[in-house]
């Protein structure tokens, strides 16, 4: 696996790959890789002739009081894992390479980008959209792979790709969970053993709402009430949002229906975790 650190080198290498293969898949990450990330790489490998990945902890998507400095960085181990998964090139630029002094252009997805995580973390999705736009230009992949765990992110990026005519297909990949059902996240490693147990309430909330929906309760108000009651059983977990929304626009719906996104974000201690399912999609919790 080649590790490239400059935009120019990565752009050239991807151009060379595209000249000799039919399809190029791209998996962008912030590193601290786990099985969730690897599921994206494996899907890309199964669907594309060549696969490239990136590791870049993007300062633009972290708020001033968020965990940019503490974000786990496990570069050597990540390289070994990606190489083992058959990734051809890893793009690992510095912050200065991605945002040279004088860079002033950003991508803001109005509306969608201000909802869910975009409401709780102002500027977050402008940071995400900007870095993904840049990465898609550098790599010019046929397909780019993203996790459905970040459902709001996927909605924002699909909107950006549609509106700005990016010639790429975004592929959403299912959430990979630990044995007890907790969605894998690079941030799970911040959790103490006690908080790790408390974090399971996110899944219990969603599971309860999923059961109620399959039992015929469609009204969002009733579903919210049921979810909040489950959440109250774990007073150490502080809710950020519980949302029943259209999966594309992220606007609230009065009644859930197939395709509706049910999403939760909550703080366990100081760690913010997210999880979700899409009604009727076969998503497992």
Q: Which residues are catalytic?
A: 37
Task: Between 14 and 171, name the residue whose CB sits nearer to ligand AMP.
Answer: 171
CA-CA distance, 263 to 275, in Å (whole number)? 6
For the CB of residue 80, give the shortest distance to ligand AMP in the complex, in Å: 17
Measure CA 215 to chain center: 30
Contact window for ligand AMP (CB under 6 A) among 45-53, 181-189, 217-225, 239-247: 181-189
User: Is the Cβ of residue 186 or residue 220 nearer to ligand AMP in the bound state?
Assistant: 186
Site for ligand AMP in 90-149 (CB under 6 A): 146-147, 149
Residues 14-43 that bind ligand AMP (CB under 6 A): 29-30, 36-37, 39-40
Inter-helix orientation angle 7-20/124-139, to 10°: 50
HSE toward the beta carbon, residue 135, CA cutoff 13 A:
29
What CA–CA distance (Å, rounded) separates 214 from 171?
Answer: 27
Residue 271 contacts ligand AMP per CB under 6 A: no
Tell me the Ramachandran region of residue 233: left when phi exceeds 0, alpha when psi lies from -120 to 50, beta otherwise: alpha
Q: Interacting stretch for ligand AMP, rule CB under 6 A, among 6-14, 69-77, 170-178, 271-279? A: 170-178
Cα separation, 203 vs 274, in Å, equals 10
Pick out residues in 221-240 that bind ligand AMP (CB under 6 A).
none
Each residue 185-214 as x (binds ligand AMP by CB under 6 A) or -, in order, gives: xx----------------------------
Taking every pair of C-alpha atoms in the chain, what is the biggest distance, in angstroms? 57
In the complex with ligand AMP, the residue whose CB is nearer, 36 or 127, is 36
**Ramachandran category for residue 44: left, alpha or beta (phi over 0 → left; psi -120 to 50 → alpha):** alpha
Binding-residue total with ligand AMP (CB under 6 A):
17
Rounded distance between C-alpha atoms, residue 5 and residue 191, angstroms: 31
Is residue 150 a contact residue for ligand AMP (CB under 6 A)?
yes
Applying CB under 6 A, the residues found at the interface with ligand AMP are 29-30, 36-37, 39-40, 146-147, 149-150, 173, 175-176, 183-186
């Amino acid at each position: 696996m080649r590790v490239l650190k400059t935009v120019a080198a990565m752009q050239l290498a991807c151009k060379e790959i595209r000249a000799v293969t039919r399809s190029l898949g791209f998996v962008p990450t912030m590193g601290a890789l786990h099985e969730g990330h690897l599921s994206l790489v494996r899907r890309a490998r199964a669907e594309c002739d060549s696969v490239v990945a990136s590791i870049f902890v993007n300062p633009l998507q972290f708020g001033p009081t968020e965990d940019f400095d503490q974000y786990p960085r496990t570069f050597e181990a990540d390289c070994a894992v990606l190489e083992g998964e058959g990734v051809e090139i890893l793009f690992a630029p510095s912050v200065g390479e991605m945002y040279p002094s004088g860079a002033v252009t950003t991508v803001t997805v109005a509306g969608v980008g201000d909802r869910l995580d975009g409401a709780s973390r102002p500027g977050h999705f402008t940071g995400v959209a900007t870095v993904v736009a840049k990465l898609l230009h550098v790599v010019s992949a046929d397909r780019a792979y993203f996790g459905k765990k970040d459902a709001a992110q996927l909605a924002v990026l699909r909107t950006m790709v549609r509106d700005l005519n990016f010639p790429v297909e975004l592929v959403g990949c299912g959430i990979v969970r630990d044995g007890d059902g907790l969605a894998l996240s690079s941030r799970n490693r911040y959790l103490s053993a006690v908080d790790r147990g408390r974090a399971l309430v996110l899944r219990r909330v969603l599971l309860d709402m999923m059961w109620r929906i399959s039992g015929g309760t469609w009204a969002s108000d009733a579903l919210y009430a049921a979810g909040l009651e489950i959440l109250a059983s774990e007073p150490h977990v502080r809710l950020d949002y519980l949302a029943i929304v259209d999966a594309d626009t992220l606007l609230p719906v009065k009644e859930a229906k197939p395709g509706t996104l049910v999403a939760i974000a909550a703080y366990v201690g100081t760690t913010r975790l997210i999880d979700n399912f899409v009604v009727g999609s076969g998503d497992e919790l």
